[in-house]
Amino acid sequence: MKKVIFLCLFILSFSSVSFAQNKKADAIKDKMAQEICDCITNSDVDTNDEEELKLKLGMCMMQSIGDNEKLLSKAGIDIKKEGAISIFAESLGMVMATKCPMVFMGLAKKELEQESEEEEKEAIQQLEGIISKVEEGSFVTLIIKDNEGRSHNVLWLEFFENADEVKQNYEKLKGMAVSVKYYEKEYYNPKIEDYVKVKVLKKVDFE
């Protein structure tokens, strides 16, 4: 019985120390995050220059880690271990995101733009054929028969590059040879209670 009580007390004391260390670690992260944010925002760094901003962020972060090394050690955070700094920097970045979001927006802007361009480039597809029918309902649908005789429904759901030109030729669309750019998007169809892919119009080139 005494052994059980001793074991319970040991577990409780260990949990208390661990909880206290976690609280200390969180407090230090909060302090350091503010220091790094202040270091960047008080400098003359151009937040639109991704490379300059990354360099400044690294310098400010390393300075703060150096200044708080003893406090980190007391909180049970050993930054001298292999890979420890990168792991700690990630958790620190999450705290910083709430204190100086503009810094992270500056870092993410270019990357997001590149990803968006790449995704759009990959997503856009092309179809050549004859417009066999134009259906009008909730949306306008161009039914295009390709060179192999297959029919494709392409929906006019949103504004696209040469929408005005298509409007001008609207009455003459049927029977016209076209090259259509489109992307595929999933929509929920309540009739079949499932998602379906539809082709969404992006551009129409008249041949």
- Please identify, among 119, 150, 184, the residue that sits at the C-terminal boundary of a domain: 119
pLDDT, residue 116, reads 57
Give dist(CA 125, CA 130) in Å, integer: 17
Let me know if 11 is exposed, middle or buried by CB neighbors in 10 A (0-12, 13-18, 19+). Answer: exposed
- Mean per-residue pLDDT for 74-89? 77
Please indicate, yes or no, whether residues 18 and 86 belong to a single structural domain of this protein: yes
Please indicate, yes or no, whether residues 102 and 19 belong to a single structural domain of this protein: yes
pLDDT, residue 1, reads 46
Please indicate, yes or no, whether residues 115 and 166 belong to a single structural domain of this protein: no
Please indicate, yes or no, whether residues 92 and 77 belong to a single structural domain of this protein: yes
Residue 196, domain CATH: 2.40.50.140
pLDDT, residue 91, reads 82
Greater model confidence, 102 or 134:
134
- Please identify, among 119, 139, 163, the residue that sits at the C-terminal boundary of a domain: 119
pLDDT, residue 15, reads 38
Give which of 54, 58, 55, 60 is closest to 40, Cα–Cα.
60
Q: Which residues of 87-103 are buried (b: 16+ CB within 10 A; e: fewer)?
A: ebbeebbebbeebbeeb
Residue 23 reports pLDDT greater than 60: yes
- 197 band by pLDDT with thresholds 50, 70 and 90: confident
What is the tens place of the pLDDT at every residue in 139-194? 889 999 998 999 999 999 888 888 888 888 778 888 999 999 998 888 887 888 88
As for how many domains the chain has, the answer is 2
Give dist(CA 140, CA 155) in Å, integer: 6
- Please identify, among 102, 119, 136, the residue that sits at the C-terminal boundary of a domain: 119
Contact 178, 144 (CB under 8 A): yes
Domain range for residue 144?
A: 124-206
Q: Which residues contact 69 (CB under 8 A, 6 or more apart)?
A: 79
Indicate whether this model's pTM tops 0.85. Answer: no
